[in-house]
């Protein structure tokens, strides 16, 4: 009888923990996206000072959304051009692109960061990079329209250039805050160095038909 009571209490505690966790997760996601659409630069500044994993966890959700959109696009883009194992390998290759794009840029920013201290966290860098990629994720989502009509490219091309420009601007501010630079001139110099190293990696991987974004 006592064991049954203990088991009931344990299950009740687990259910309560799940409810609290889901509630906190929903609130963190709402705060994250609300701040991104209202004041994205402030979000990048907040991430650079974050001392917990709340924002990082939300950013992983954003990355999962990107992977899902990439999977859908790849699934229907190549189904008439390739068969069997080749088709599967191309989809796997496409799914690695978002992960490598985030991973390599975050790694470059991390290795070149001159102001690592006790408050610095690699997860903050990864979170910042994912936020910088949100405009790219947006255009990836819109590109699904091209699966319906080839004419969608006339609409998508100018939007793509705009989103890439916004993503680049976000990257500059992410580096500025992560590197704790107060001077814009030095921030811009570090930004150019990071971009140069990243595009060297980009060129190397392009020979393997892996194009980072």
Which has the closest alpha carbon to 142: 168, 127, 172, 162? Answer: 162
Half-sphere exposure of 192 (CA within 13 A, CB side): 6
pLDDT tens digits, 7-34:
555 555 455 434 445 666 688 889 899 9
The residue-averaged pLDDT of 177-191 equals 91
Dihedral sign of CA atoms 63, 69, 70, 75 in order: positive
pLDDT at 210: 85
Between the alpha carbon of residue 186 and those of residues 128, 174, 183, 189, 199, the distances in Å are: 19, 14, 6, 5, 20
Per cent of the chain over pLDDT 70 is 85
pTM: 0.85
Which has the closest alpha carbon to 154: 141, 170, 143? Answer: 143
pLDDT at 119 over 60: yes
pLDDT at 47 over 90: yes
pLDDT at 1 over 70: no
């Amino acid at each position: 009888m006592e064991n049954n009571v203990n088991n009931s209490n344990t299950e009740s505690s687990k259910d309560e923990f799940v409810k609290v966790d889901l509630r906190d997760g929903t609130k963190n996601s709402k705060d994250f996206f609300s701040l991104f659409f209202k004041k994205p630069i402030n979000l990048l500044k907040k991430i650079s000072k974050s001392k917990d994993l709340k924002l990082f966890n939300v950013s992983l959700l954003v990355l999962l959304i990107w992977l899902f959109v990439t999977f859908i696009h790849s699934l229907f883009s190549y189904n008439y051009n390739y068969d069997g194992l080749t088709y599967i390998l191309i989809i796997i290759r496409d799914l690695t692109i978002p992960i490598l794009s985030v991973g390599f840029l975050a790694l470059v920013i991390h290795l070149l960061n001159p102001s690592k201290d006790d408050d610095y966290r690699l997860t903050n860098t990864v979170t910042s990079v994912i936020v910088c990629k949100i405009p790219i994720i947006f255009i990836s989502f819109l590109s699904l329209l091209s699966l319906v009509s080839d004419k969608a490219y006339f609409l998508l091309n100018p939007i793509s250039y705009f989103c890439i420009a916004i993503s680049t601007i976000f990257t500059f501010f992410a580096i500025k805050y992560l590197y704790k630079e107060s001077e814009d001139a030095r921030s811009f110099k570090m930004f150019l160095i990071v971009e140069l190293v990243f595009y060297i990696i980009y060129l190397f991987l392009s020979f393997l038909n892996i194009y980072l974004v």
